Amino acid sequence: MDFLKDHSIQNELVLIFISVFLGLCIGAEREYRNKSAGLRTFILVCFGSCLFTILSIKIGIKDPDRLAANIITGIGFLGAGVIFKGDNKIDGITTATTIWATASVGMAMGAGYVYLSLLGTVLILLILSSLSYFQNFIDRNHKLREYKIMVLKKEDLNYCENLFKKYNLKFTVVKQAFSRENTTTSWLLTGKSKNHEMLIKQMMHDEKINSFQF
């Protein structure tokens, strides 16, 4: 019996160490991209999920899924902490979902599904790395950016619209502020990245554009 018990402990230790390694692989990718959650976070998420799953099997003999189900709830709170609002979009969602997926890898490892955990890690890394190139391709051809442009005369708003059309940028007025001295308009422009860059170069030397920011 002691031999079987020692053998079981050894297997569990192997599962825990593998979970640490898998968390390290995913965390290294996030750390390389300088994301809000990095190397140590993903190692601990994967390791913790694995250990909690082992414990749920050990101490929850009649109801083993009870403790494991609470892992998902805890990961939800952790993921919410890395989501924040950027200028034009919500940032951190990819990192939050990666934390969630990493927890599933740790849980699968804790349950003894080694090959499933390895496959999950490979798929996570594949999605994060290779699909980012596809995302950049979309971004280059469909860049969404908000500009805050100040002009001296209200009539210059038509000039701005013609400027956007010149560089094939679709535009929408987000908000406007009028004063006796100037007119400030927030524009949401959509188009190719190179067209955005050409517009910026033009506005930097345009006499009718008093100031702008994006």
Q: What is the pLDDT of residue 4?
A: 40
More confident site: 109 or 93: 109
Distance (Å, whole) CA 154 – CA 184: 9
Q: Which two tokens stand for residue 180?
A: 């006796």
pTM of the model: 0.68
Q: What is the pLDDT of residue 5?
A: 44
Average pLDDT of the segment spanning 90-103: 84
Asked whether the predicted pLDDT for residue 66 surpasses 60, the reply is: yes
Enumerate the domain spans of the chain: 2-139, 142-213
Give how far Cα 126 sits from Cα of 100, 106, 123, 136, 137, Å.
16, 18, 5, 15, 17
Q: What is the pLDDT of residue 102?
A: 93
Place of tokens 């919410």: 80
CA atoms within 13 A on the CB side of 138: 6
Give the dihedral of Cα atoms 43, 45, 48, 50; nearest 10 deg: -90
Q: Which of 5, 18, 180, 210 is nearest to 114 (CA)?
A: 18
Asked whether the predicted pLDDT for residue 6 surpasses 70, the reply is: no
Q: What is the pLDDT of residue 3?
A: 42
Average pLDDT of the segment spanning 175-201: 89
Q: What is the CATH number of domain 142-213?
A: 3.30.70.260
